[in-house]
Amino acid sequence: MYKIFDIHTHTYPEIIADKATVNLGNFYNLHVEGKGTYSHLESQAQENNVHGYLLFSVATNVHQVSKVNDSIAALAEYSRSRGFLTVGFAGMHQDFADFEGELNRSLEIGLKGVKLHPDIQEVDVDDPRLFELYALMEGRMPLYLHVGDDRPQYRFSESRKIVHIMENFPKLEIVAAHLGGYKAWEDALTYLAGKEQVWYDTSSALWAMTPEYAGMLIGKLGAENIMFGTDYPVKNTAEEVERFLRIDLTDDQREDIFWNNAVRFLHLEEEAKALGY
């Protein structure tokens, strides 16, 4: 059985998880499979050989930023205390007043990057308000982005806009989630394929395409920069693992996408070794 690092997960406090998962399903007009709690996410780990997570949350207004980041940092620490190779990324909002201060604080509490969801936050990913943030992150912290949508009202995270970021911040590591663009994979091939500073995950993609199409995308985007993710609670682990294993890949490619690429992207080699992975 392959070791797995789930690079794309969202969890919510128990008290709001039901409401949060309903809202998420309504936003995307889909059925959310998971309960949305960390305990439910972790319950799937043992049977699927999952040994690490990257945890996210989204700040939908400036007042949520610090609270979100404290919550993610505490949850990542709790997960590590239970033996997982877990990391948290900070949330940020385009109108937050002190990017530098919050980035420094996020690093101090153990967060290793920043996650933005431009469609939910209603901000173009290349909005000039975010350029100060990107400048502060360049060469220091990676940027993880929700990318793509096929609905005309949600064009905030188009692949072509990421090109504008790369032109201005060539040393900024970027993850274009959902194999480069949720339901907009042709755009990913047009604008992102071959860009060395871009990574990808498999989350919220495999259920929307054939294994053959997924294999083509992985081949053109580059298996060496693709990481396995479930987008929990949108999907549960077992089903996503099964979908991934239907793709015609070599064992080495599967091992890289399931585990090695995430460890390399997050610079967790020494910690993984210390835990015996």
**Range from 154-158, 168-172, 238-242 carrying the lowest mean pLDDT:** 154-158
* pLDDT above 90: residue 180: yes
Kindly state the average pLDDT of the residues 68-76. Answer: 96
Q: Given this model, what pLDDT does residue 201 score?
A: 98
pLDDT of residue 30: 87
Q: How many Cα atoms sit within 13 Å of 167 on the Cβ side?
A: 7
Instruction: Please identify which residue in the block is written with the tokens 């609670």.
Output: 233
CA-CA distance, 43 to 105, in Å (whole number)?
31
Average pLDDT over residues 30-37: 92
pLDDT at residue 1 greater than cutoff 90: no
* Structural domain that includes position 185: 4-274
| Proportion of the chain above pLDDT 70, given as a percent | 100
> What pLDDT, on a 0 to 100 scale, did the predictor assign at position 193?
95
Q: What is the pLDDT of residues 91-128, one digit of tens each?
A: 999 999 999 999 999 999 999 999 999 999 999 999 99
CA–CA separation, 214 and 218 (whole Å):
6
Position 14 scores a pLDDT of 87
Give the global pTM. 0.96
The pLDDT of residue 251 = 97
Listed in sequence order, the residues at least 6 apart from 199 whose beta carbon sits closer than 8 Å to its beta carbon are: 142, 173, 174, 175, 176, 225, 226, 227, 261, 265
Q: What average pLDDT does the segment 152-168 reach?
A: 94
What's the mean pLDDT in 142-156? 93
Per-residue confidence (pLDDT) for residue 20, from 0 to 100: 86
Q: What CA–CA distances, in Å, run from 53 to 14, 41, 128, 231?
A: 19, 10, 31, 11
- Which 8-state DSSP code applies to residue 256? I
Strand bridging mode 198-201 / 226-227: parallel
The CATH number covering residue 16 comes to: 3.20.20.140
C-alpha distances in angstroms, 49 versus 4, 211, 259, 277? 6, 22, 11, 11
What is the distance between the alpha carbons of residues 173 and 68, in angstroms, rounded to a whole number? 22
184: helix, coil or strand?
Answer: coil
At 29 the pLDDT is 86
Report the half-sphere exposure of 203 (CA within 13 A, side-chain side): 28
* Domains identified in the chain, total number: 1
Residue with tokens 């309903």: 22
Question: What pLDDT shows up at residue 93?
Answer: 97
Other Cβ atoms within 10 Å of 145 Cβ, number: 23
pLDDT band at 171; cut points 50, 70, 90 = very high
Q: Please state, rounded to an integer, the average pLDDT across all residues of the chain.
A: 96
